[in-house]
Structure 1
Amino acid sequence: MSVHPLHALVASRVLVLDGAMGTMLQRLDLQEDAFHAPGIPEATSQQGNNDVLCLSRPDAIAAIHRQYLEVGADLISTNTFNANAVSQREYGTETLVYAINRAGAAIARREADAFSTPKRPRFVCGSIGPTGKSASLPPNADDPAHRDIRFRELAEAYRTQIRGLLDGGVDVLLVETVFDALNAKAALYAAAVEFEARGTVFPVIVSASLASADRLLTGQTVEAYCAAVAHAPGLLAIGLNCGFGAAQLAPVLRRLKGVAPCHVSAHPNAGLPDAFGGYAQTPEQMRWELEPLLRDGILAIVGGCCGTTPDHIRAIAGAVRATGSPPRAPQPPAGAAFSGLERLDIPSGPHPLVEVGERTNVAGSRRFLRLVKEENDAQAVETARAQVAAGAAIIDVNMDDPMLDAPVAVRRFLARCAAEPSLADVPVMVDSSNWETLVAGLECLQGRGIVNSISLKDGEAAFLRQAREIHRLGACPLVMCFDEKGQADTIERRRGIAGRSYRLLVAAGIPPEQIIIDANVFAIATGIAGHDRLAADFIDAVRWIKANLPGALTSGGISNVSFAFRGNDALRGWIHSVFLHHAVAAGLDMAIVNPAAMIAYDAIPAECRRIVEDAVLCRTPDAAARLAELAVATMATAATPAPSPSSAHGRVDTAPPQERLKRAVATGSASGLE
């Protein structure tokens, strides 16, 4: 697919976006009759439904576009901010969505073409608003699992809007005023599906609105939002608009520039609103606030939102001409990024192990399965919170059980987790062997998550189909070393499948840093001699992946390695610690573990550590037998009394009652109050 010329143009000079459409329409003081035309319901008041003016008063919309083009706008936005079925349902005009968008795009296209010259082309942005509903936030705090709208309904509504915009002739899709990244991800998903159907990728700008100093309404930081939407097809810019004026947005835009994989845009309000909701900032004041960002190369696209007029855009265009320098090239951090409400960066170089909490898995925890079956949401969520409190940077969620409706269960649990700040902060790994369940989980995540897992088991076509869908849904695939012949259990097979999977994914457009490879952790010391090298081969495979598959991350489910010694928690902890010590040294990036049960490598008695190390690395012929002898000697440790239930970490909470109460209020957890 060809690259749109805007991508080259925006790298060479700052582009000026237009200002507010709503502000200009308010000045016209249009009455009810202006909002009606053949096909628009007469029985329902349409006043205030500005989008239908594309059908009833195209002359008024065209005149506003002309005013912005005359003062120097390179890009003008269609009058379609609320032209989606969700928003138009209020007016009974949802059946007109396609017509409104096509008409709005055609109006802007005609005006842009009239002002375009070979040296100064003008472009049309298709404005796509957030709707008035959130896919991430419950409308009622007493029912945290309920949502007014789901991802699929949003995606379907956005698809119709996008079809109309593209058919009407827009150059760019502008997903703007994002207050919930999950809504934006639904729009980006719809765009990706429509682009694929057309065989053309159009440029996309994603712009969020802040509700506080540096967070969206959902509580997501600007860095986490950037990670959540960075998969957008044809991504031209990520930015901020509305919410605040340029002065308030400036420090956050600088932070965004430091993490964005693309250019940065801004179309702030004309300052902060006054007591009556008006905007009094002058064009000169707005120019003065934006100039430092332009001088420093932070912005590639700049315009105005609420309260801005052609006079403001004239001043901004003057600032762009006066500055004269192109925007700085994007320089995102090297490595991978995931997010919940907060961002998790995994650098490309050496870094501490990223722990993925394993206890929210119905297949691995009988207690968690019971809580989910009983719909004991509070305690199920507490299980996840304990994992995060113990050090998990990501939580693995698995609902695969024959007695559960897994897609329903995963949606319910993730919705409850999203309502808990300490859990909503961290990324989620959706874990299932069922494709429907994986998709159901991804459609709940406002951040960038992980799918555990896909493989070549069913062939390349199925593998790539799933990988592309995961990417469209804004997540990263974890690939198991499993192909049409079965699981890889030798170093040669691990290398072969890992390399083949990586090459297929990169060729399909999946960035290398968004590929996670699990080289298969198997049990050692099982009594079968052929199993003795399985841990050492995994470590060697990790080392090979990091050396030969640039950018790829590595992962593993660590508890498998000690499965032969289930019931002997002390020995299993030592095996996990030694195994991780060497795997991390080889380049292991993340591991699925119980962080509350982790044991420091140096805390293992020296002689015991040597025996375990011999077995993990398969250093001596009798290593497995000596490990079995050690298991017998340590069985007494396995009978240690269970930790007090009053502590999420397995330690008795000795803090004073007042201190425990304060902590419970801050975290929303009743743990420790017994």
Structure 2
Amino acid sequence: MGKVSFRDFIKNNIVILDGATGTELQKRGMPLGVSPEKWALENPKILMDIQKSYIQAGSNVVYTCTFGGNRLKLAEFGLEDKVVEINRELAKISKEAAGDSAYVAGDISATGQFIEPFGDMPFEEAVEIYKEQVKGLLDGGVDLFIIETMVDIQEARAALIAVKESCNLPVCVSMTFDESKRTLTGTDPITALITLQSLGADVVGCNCSTGPEDMIEVIKEMKAYAKVPLLAKPNAGLPRLVNGKTEFDMDALEFSSYVKDLVEAGVNLLGGCCGTSPLYIEKIKENAKNLKPKAPCPKKVSCVTSARKTVFSGFDEPVIVVGERINPTGKKKLQEELKEGKKSEIRRFAFEQVEKGADILDVNVGMPGIDEKKTMVETLQFLSTIVEAPLCIDSSSYEVIEAALRVYPGRAIINSISAEKKKIEKLLPIAAKYGAMFILLPLNDEGVPEASQERCKIIEYVYKRALEYCFEKEDIIVDGLVMTVSSDQNAALETLKVIEWCRNEFGIGSILGLSNVSFGLPERNWINTAFLSMAIGRGLTMAIANPSSEILMSIKMACDVLMVKDKNSAKYIEKFGGKKSTKEKAVEKAEEKPHLSTLDKIYNAVLTGDRENIKELIDAAIKEGNEPSKIVDDYLIPAITKVGDLYDKREYFLPQLIQSAQTMKEAFGIVEPLLIKGDRKENKKCVVLATVKGDIHDIGKNIVGLMLRNYGFKVIDLGKDVMSEKIVETAKRENAHIIGLSALMTTTMVEMREVVKLAKKEGVKAKIMIGGAVVDSDYAKEIGADGYSEDAYAAVKLAEKLSAF
């Protein structure tokens, strides 16, 4: 099935997907703790019966039973050398079951590890892991691909690139959002949509974690900017334990009652996730029978994203400021650090510019004596973990730009593409492949035309070439290319004519590098600011500038008000009304200033996740005579507590939480031996952690363990798929204060009750807390556990509370 036929297939009809597969396999005898892929291969008739049941119920598409069919997941069962074979054979079984009655989607999901920059797995390794699985599915004859239940936008990108580089079949990508409408790593629905559809996904959507009611809101947010069809596969409400079995609180009739609302919100493809069965699909089919999907009608705005934030620019949007400071030109200290592989100056410039109002950060690391490609990739990955601002990739090297775009966990903007023959031929395909926006520079091989009319002709030429790669005007920002007025008095006026033409005649956004206009003149800030206000009046949508210029930023915000780009003057009032958000205050406090004491800098290092400098700061504090206990009690612990507060308020997300936790771990590793030498009594409370029997998911548990260690707990991590006897035996032997249990599957959550029962029978005094996507506080009470935590930081607070008794 090609992309065209797939799009025709879903254009005028609601496409019905299948429901849950794992629970259906277990209903038919699959035991806990085995590889679903291996068991399905050994019992092909059962798998075929399930898929035929879904097709008879109304599914137009069935998923292959390859959810955990990647190398890392299969390795947990000693099957890592059979990836291609397992995926191929399972795809063949699905094809046989579907016949001519339904399409077969090759099912791909998470590896269980975080990808750089949010984790340790190299990005290219993740791509290769997925390519291996894709090969098997292609050999088995799948019609399309579905990348599902993704909690990390970077892992979703890796899987999408793997499919796109392996074949030309349609590919759908489905993220998992919690009740706050964020993924585990902090991506919101709009950011996920824009990133993935720009990268080439044919369908984008959401599945798992929530029921249909919450998913309606996610789809609504996506629909406003969607150029592609949208997919939804909700859970059947919340899981409950009834007579020792997991059941969901929403029956098929109630579940299907949301079909109309989901379609009105913008869904094109609809199915079920956890807790659903062929009966649910049958009811979906009935309720969708007379419904038609809404055609895409995305807002005409330019969108650039990071992993956690989207920045919009357009004629009705506030003028976007692109911070220009991360550039080694004229910055000796930054040049030295880039040669040494350090990041302190980059961190400082990033925080400083974001605090002062930069919406996007331009990143240029080009200088002699370094590997620019390696440095650019490392810099982008570093910045992606510490700031939310999207990034602009600024380099004259095609290789550097492509390497950067490949690993950037969002939709970047390229600075820049001109009409120069080599540039346009090399960079347009690269920008198109990775879905990047780009700045259009109106110059050609003959140089920069002085007259605005000639620049406009170049703009039209580059745009026509960009159309060949399916770019739209919203994907391009035109640089007016201002030259210095000190050498040409008419330079600013010619540039303003280009800006006005872009706005009024061509209908495309524009950008200016403000500092060029005043080069060679005294008191340059006045010239830059005056020129900015004139350009905004002509239709400028973005500006490359130094946001530390208070007058420039103030005039920019005033212009936004006067040009009716700042609705109700909200941003102006927020800026000048004296109120700041918690996050802004935290970032402001984190800014490195000469008058800060070494101890304050230690606090800031933990707050901002500055692992690079924490050792030097701790050593300096000790040399200054500060007691190790004072460093821990008055600075390290308050800092990590503040990080937790920001995480609680959803102002920090998992990447920042992990960065700060790792910085805390490194700091404590230096201070702890000194505490022992100083005869400080160790009184660590012991926590035994485990993912229960039959469950092979442990990424959440691992994060909980990291956080608990950094809050002073002694953690014994027993791993995943752990028998209840081993958990209780370890808790008794270690005299544990707490047992922490994790489960991510509805079929394994029942094992938590078995641990609670056994612990009470054996007289274990440890308090028991539980966590995982499928459980909640009601379930904790139901099985007799002492508490439930919804995330890693909540687990720390709960552990502190429980261990106090």
TM range (shorter): 0.7 to 0.9
Matching residue of 1:134: 114
For 2:510, give the aligned amino acid. T
Task: Decide which moves more: 371-380 or 334-343.
Answer: 371-380
Q: 1:430 aligns with which of 375, 379, 393?
A: 393
**1:431, 1:453 within 8 Å by CA — same for their partners in 2?**
yes
2:543 to 582, 591, 604: 591
Tell whether the 8 Å contact from 1:395 to 1:427 is kept in structure 2 after alignment.
Answer: yes
- CA distance in 2 between partners of 1:191 and 1:336 (Å): 27
Separation in 2, partners of 1:365, 1:592: 18
Of all paired residues, the percent bearing the same amino acid is 28
Contact 1:65 1:76 in 2 (8 A): yes
> What does the per-residue CA deviation read over 1:243-296, in whole Å, with 9 as the maximum and x for residues that have no partner?
122233232222222332222211112222346893423433552552352463
- Residue 541 of structure 1 pairs with residue 527 of structure 2: no
Match of 1:580 in 2: 532
**Alignment partner for residue 511 of structure 2, among 533, 536, 555?**
555
Q: State the alpha-carbon separation in 1 of the partners of residues 305 and 245 from structure 2.
A: 34
Shift of 1:356: 0.4
2:37 maps to which of 51, 54, 76: 51
Q: How does 1:247-326 map to 2 (within 5 A)?
A: 247-274=213-240, 278-284=246-252, 286-288=254-256, 290-294=258-262, 296-321=264-289, 324-326=290-292
Kindly indicate whether the alpha-carbon contact (under 8 Å) linking 1:246 and 1:269 is maintained by their aligned counterparts in 2: yes
Residue deviations 1:407-433, cap 9 Å, x none?
Answer: 33333333333332xx1x221111112
Q: Residues 137-156 of structure 1: matches in 2 within 5 Å?
A: 138=118, 147-156=119-128
Partner Cα distance (1:182, 1:53) in 2:
30
DSSP-derived class of the 1:259 partner: coil
Deviations 1:435-465 (A, max 9, x none): 3332333233222111222334343xx6344
The answer for the alignment partner of 1:83 in structure 2 is 69
Which one-letter code corresponds to 1:361 in the other structure? N
The answer (yes or no) to whether the contact 1:372–1:380 under 8 Å persists in 2 is: no
Say if 1:363 and 1:398, in contact at 8 Å, map to a contact too.
no
Q: 1:109 to 1:492 in 2, by over 3 A?
A: same
For 1:597, the aligned partner's letter is: S
- Evaluate the alpha carbon distance shift between residue 3 and residue 244 of structure 1 in structure 2; reply closer, same or farther with a 3 A threshold: closer
SS at match of 2:142: coil
Question: CA contact under 8 A between 2:91 and 2:141: conserved in structure 1?
Answer: yes
Aligned to 1:474: 435
Query: Would the aligned equivalents of 2:439 and 2:479 in 1 still touch at CA under 8 Å?
Result: yes
Is 1:392–2:378 an aligned residue pair? no
User: 1:246–1:286: 8 Å Cα contact kept in structure 2?
Assistant: no
1:541-578 CA deviation, whole Å, 9 max, x = no partner? 2233344544x43222221221223xx4xx21111112
Post-superposition offset of 1:69 = 0.8
Is contact 1:294–1:320 with CA below 8 Å preserved after alignment?
Answer: no
Instruction: Compute the displacement of 1:209 (Å).
Output: 0.5
Name the counterpart of 1:331: 297
Q: Distance in 1 between matches of 2:157 and 2:504?
A: 33
In the alignment, structure 1 residue 180 sits paired with structure 2 residue 166: no
| 3-state DSSP of counterpart to 2:482 | coil
Question: Residue 176 of structure 1 aligns to which amino acid in structure 2?
Answer: E
The amino acid across from 2:353 in the alignment is Q
Task: Report if the CA contact (8 A) 1:105-1:126 is conserved.
Answer: yes
For structure 1, the 5+ residue unaligned runs are 33-46, 117-121, 139-146, 196-200, 605-644
Secondary structure in 2 matching 1:357: strand
Aligned 8 A contact 2:529 2:552 in 1: yes
- Taking structure 1 as the reference length, the TM-score comes to 0.77
Aligned CA-pair RMSD: 3.5
The one-letter code of the counterpart of 1:97 is V
Determine which structure has greater relative contact order: mean sequence separation of CA pairs < 8 Å that are 6+ residues apart, divided by chain length: 1
Q: 1:222 aligns with which of 189, 212, 216?
A: 189
For residues 34-70 of structure 1, the C-alpha deviation after alignment (integer angstroms, 9 at most, x for no partner) is xxxxxxxxxxxxx632234565443332222111111
Structure 1 residue aligned with 2:23? 23
Partner of 1:514: 475
Change in Cα spacing, 1:554 to 1:159, as seen in structure 2 (3 Å) is farther
Cα displacement (A) at 1:124:
1.8
Q: Does 2:406 match 1:443?
A: yes
Name the SS for the 2:407 alignment partner.
Answer: coil
The SS at the match of 2:18 is coil
Query: Do 1:478 and 1:515's aligned partners in 2 also have CA atoms closer than 8 Å?
Result: yes
Tell me the distance in 2 between the aligned counterparts of 1:252 and 1:277.
Answer: 30
Q: In structure 2, how many angstroms separate the alpha carbons of the residues matched to 1:464 and 1:105? A: 39
Say if 2:363 and 2:393, in contact at 8 Å, map to a contact too: yes
Please state whether the residue corresponding to 2:428 is helix, strand or coil: helix
* CA offset digits 1:196-227 (Å, max 9, x no partner): xxxxx433222101144200111111111111
Structure 2: distance between partners of 1:448 and 1:486: 30
Q: Compared with structure 1, are the counterparts of its residues 362 and 51 closer, same or farther at alpha carbon in structure 2 (3 Å cutoff)?
A: farther
Distance 1:577 1:63, change over 3 A: same
2:210 match: secondary structure: strand
Q: For residue 54 of structure 2, what is the amino acid of its counterpart?
A: Y
TM-score, normalised via structure 2 length: 0.65
Q: What are structure 2's unaligned runs of at least 5 residues?
A: 557-587, 608-637, 661-805
- Tell me: CA distance 1:83–1:339, structure 2 relative to 1, closer, same or farther (3 Å): same
